[in-house]
Amino acid sequence: MTEAESAPLSPAPPRRRAGRLLAIGAVLLLVVAGIAVFQLVPGSPAAVELSPSEDLLLTPTASLQFSARVTDARGRLVEERPAWSSDGSISDAGLFTAPERAGAYYVQAAAGPATAVVHVLVTAGPAKTVRVMPEEAVVKPRESVRLSVKATDTWGNELTVPAFWRVAAGAGSIDGDGLFLAGRAGTSRITAEIQSVAAGATITAACPAPRAETTAGVSFTLACAESADVHIGAGGLSAQAVTETVDTAVAAVERSFGRAFERRLEINVFPTKDSFDNGVRQLLHAEPTPGEEGIFAQPNSIVIDWGAPESPEAIVRHEVTHALIATTARRGIPLWANEGLATLHEFPVSESAALASRYCTASAAMNGRLPNLGVLATSQDWASYIGDVGPLAYAIAGQLAAFAAEDANGSANLVEKLSTGLTFDAAYAAASGRTYDSFVAGLPARARALAERSPGVATSGRLFDGSTVYVSYGQPGGSRVSVDVRNDRFFGGGTDTASYFGCAIGFLRPSWPAGTFTISVSGPNGGATSTLRR
């Protein structure tokens, strides 16, 4: 054994090993005393999450604190402060302050290549000032004007919220969009309110002075009524008298129907039948008929013969009724009812029309000649019927319409049902509680009951032009009748021909002397006598 082999053994001194740090990917490896210790280390920023993270609404100068969470690709938190940016104002700590100007802005947080963005919409603040435009305006009565409103906040931003409109004083109405419809002549104060801040406008409804005008080659004086623009043809008519008559007639029809026109009417007035006929041709491109005294043309144009035998107000009432029905009855109505309601509205100012309507309808029933309403629905039907039986058809239709209105508890109630889109038959049933068929079936008996006797003579009082009218009835249609009119100082008479309906209409002219007259009529069905005082 060698010396080395025989030497005694002793323990070797411990060898201290230096520790080493080894970075392996995102893992920190610490080797100490031969033992490996692992510590997880986040990677590079891969995502940024903002709080709040949804798009926001702020008012000007409002502040909002943002925070950001930065994570690596595996979702581990990275302790890194993001860089903040905005087209508004934001601090290094993420405190955003909204600009004074309303608009769209962004807030961005960035960490390395990772970013996150939130959009901020800065809206106008509470209303500070409100202005109505125009602040002053002058319109005609019943004319409309569009008003607008501008509201701004403390910083001058315009609000887009709707205004609450109202007529604070005076006449007229205004809708939610600021469309003001003037009422009668006078001054109205309109206010618009936004968020308890209000402003106003002053609208004056007034008629301008009459002026000369030419329309479609026809010379007029354009006069302003409260309800209509009135074009008065040359011939010496008084603008004031005409416009007053128009306003009176329109107001009466509106009261009867319980509703008003939404726009001004256009009424053309001519002093003579010749000028009326020419006006119809020039303005409406239509051919007038011999007995025509007025025409309504959709949507709101009326032509009147002011010199017709009937009173001007009665003619205006007739045509204005057509206009109101046209704006109300959504599905239209049969022509007999349309003409009948128009004639019915003449009666308060036309005693002659009311008298003829009552007694000629009674005579028609006595002769079995009431019209078949089922075939009088269209304008062509009506024109053909007028050609067959004559203009007294209007009087008959007026009385039949009066029956319908009576059953319906008034014209207003009937038209109200028509405004809902019902047919005339259905509207009558809804307003009266009766079927339309029962109405038609009951007409002969109701019509005969209008006359106290048959044959007979009925008389009116003094009419608008100073004349007096009488109606003989109950004779056969088309028959010859003898008429004798006399008092202690005057007598006259002769023969007449009863109408298709068995009635005949006569007049005592304004030139006839005052006093009590006896009117005697005789015909195939016998005679009748009546007295009148004028």
With a cut of 50, say whether residue 332 has pLDDT above it: yes
| Model pLDDT, residue 24 | 39
Q: What is the Cα 417 distance to its own chain's centre?
A: 17
Q: Which of 1-10, 105-114, 212-221, 463-472 has the highest mean pLDDT?
A: 105-114
Q: Provide the 10 A C-beta neighbour count for residue 8.
A: 4
Residue with tokens 């009066």: 402
Write the pLDDT tens digit of every residue in 406-458: 999 999 999 999 999 999 999 999 999 999 999 999 999 999 999 999 999 99
Instruction: State how far the Cα of 129 lies from the Cα of 156, in Å rounded to an integer.
Output: 9
Answer for the pair 377, 412: CB distance below 8 angstroms, yes or no.
no
Write the pLDDT tens digit of every residue in 30-62: 444 555 555 567 789 999 999 999 999 999 999
Instruction: State how far the Cα of 176 lies from the Cα of 165, in Å rounded to an integer.
Output: 6
What residues form DSSP beta bridges with 420? none
Of the pLDDT bands very low, low, confident and very high (cuts 50, 70, 90), residue 533 is confident
Examine domains 47-122 and 456-533 and report if their fold is the same.
yes
With a cut of 50, say whether residue 22 has pLDDT above it: no
CB burial of residue 100 (10 Å; 0-12, 13-18, 19+): middle
| Model pLDDT, residue 25 | 43
The dihedral through the CA atoms of 497, 500, 503, 506 has a sign that is negative
Instruction: State how far the Cα of 432 lies from the Cα of 429, in Å rounded to an integer.
Output: 5
Answer for the pair 345, 313: CB distance below 8 angstroms, yes or no.
no
The dihedral through the CA atoms of 96, 101, 106, 109 has a sign that is negative
Tokens of 231: 């074009």
Instruction: State how far the Cα of 19 lies from the Cα of 29, in Å rounded to an integer.
Output: 11
Of the pLDDT bands very low, low, confident and very high (cuts 50, 70, 90), residue 3 is very low
Residue with tokens 């080659």: 217
Q: What percent of the chain has pLDDT over 90?
A: 80
Q: For the chain, which residues make up each domain, given as ranges?
A: 47-122, 129-205, 211-448, 456-533
Could you tell me which of 269, 255, 176, 265 has the C-alpha nearest to residue 228? 265
Instruction: State how far the Cα of 520 lies from the Cα of 252, in Å rounded to an integer.
Output: 37
Cα atoms found within 13 Å of the Cα of residue 416, Cβ hemisphere only: 14
As its CATH architecture, domain 129-205 has: Sandwich (2.60)
As its CATH architecture, domain 456-533 has: Sandwich (2.60)
Going from the C-alpha of 324 to that of each of 224, 293, 330, 335, the distances in angstroms are 20, 18, 11, 14
Could you tell me which of 463, 465, 462, 469 has the C-alpha nearest to residue 514? 462
Q: What is the DSSP string of 353-365?
A: HHHHHHHHHHHHH
Statement: 211-448 belongs to CATH 1.10.390.10: yes
Of the pLDDT bands very low, low, confident and very high (cuts 50, 70, 90), residue 235 is confident
| Model pLDDT, residue 19 | 40
CB within 8 A of 426, min separation 6: which ones? 417, 436
Tokens of 510: 């304004």
Express the helix, strand and coil content of the chain in percent, nearest 5 each: 25, 35, 40
Could you tell me which of 6, 9, 7, 39 has the C-alpha nearest to residue 25? 39
Tokens of 42: 């986040």
Cα atoms found within 13 Å of the Cα of residue 516, Cβ hemisphere only: 2
As its CATH architecture, domain 47-122 has: Sandwich (2.60)
Tokens of 501: 């309906």
